[in-house]
Amino acid sequence: MRELNELRKENKISPYVIFIDEAHLFVPQDESSKQIIRESVRIGRHHGICIVLITQSPMDIDKKAIRQCNTRLLFAIEPDQLQSIQGVKADATQEMIDRLPKAPIGTCILAGTYETIKHAIPVNIRVMENPEADAGKAPDIFSEVNL
């Protein structure tokens, strides 16, 4: 990931998005592996790098990494996980937070830093299917590198 960050800073590759599913395994509260993710989230915002941290266990993920994310989508989570999102919910009302455990599929709270999202709002996400899309093909991001 550090190599990708350097290539992007030097404008050798295009802006990109990295999705990290089960992020609590890669950015845990107590492991040194979280440092590169934390660094990437912090500096990436200024260089066209977007990192999406996805987890159903927010209590197990590094809080500094989450707070550095400009945009947060808070989907349904277990009631025992609600306390763990207190520092990242922005100005979402307590009523919004209390409804999260029973939120329907596709419903979330959109929140973030004041610079990106002034106020937390409930959002319904709809997926538009494109039968012509080639979902199985992974992009070759290294084909753009001019080394």
Is a pLDDT exceeding 70 seen at residue 60? yes
Please tell me whether the overall predicted TM-score, pTM, comes out greater than 0.85 for this model: no
Instruction: Return the pLDDT at 122.
Output: 92
**Listed residues 69, 94, 110: the one ending a domain:** 69
Structural domain boundaries enclosing 43: 1-69
**In this structure, are 55 and 11 located in the same domain?**
yes
CA 133 – CA 147 distance, rounded (Å): 31
Specify the residue for token string 């993710």. Answer: 37
**In this structure, are 58 and 85 located in the same domain?**
no
Could you give the percent of the chain with pLDDT greater than 70? Answer: 87
CA 39 – CA 18 distance, rounded (Å): 14
Instruction: Return the pLDDT at 23.
Output: 84
Q: Which residues pair with 6 in a beta bridge?
A: none
CA 99 – CA 113 distance, rounded (Å): 22
Is a pLDDT exceeding 70 seen at residue 139? no
Handedness of CA 47, 14, 25, 53 (dihedral sign): positive
Q: Output the CA–CA distances (angstroms, integers) from residue 96 to 12, 63, 111, in the order listed.
A: 42, 21, 11
pLDDT tens track for 63-83: 888 777 888 888 998 888 888
Average pLDDT, the chain: 81
Lowest-confidence pick of 3-7, 30-34, 74-78, 117-121: 30-34
Is a pLDDT exceeding 80 seen at residue 11? yes
**In this structure, are 75 and 124 located in the same domain?**
yes
pLDDT tens track for 82-119: 888 877 777 888 899 889 999 999 999 998 888 778 88
CB 58 within 8 A of CB 97: no
**In this structure, are 44 and 27 located in the same domain?**
yes
**Listed residues 34, 53, 69: the one ending a domain:** 69
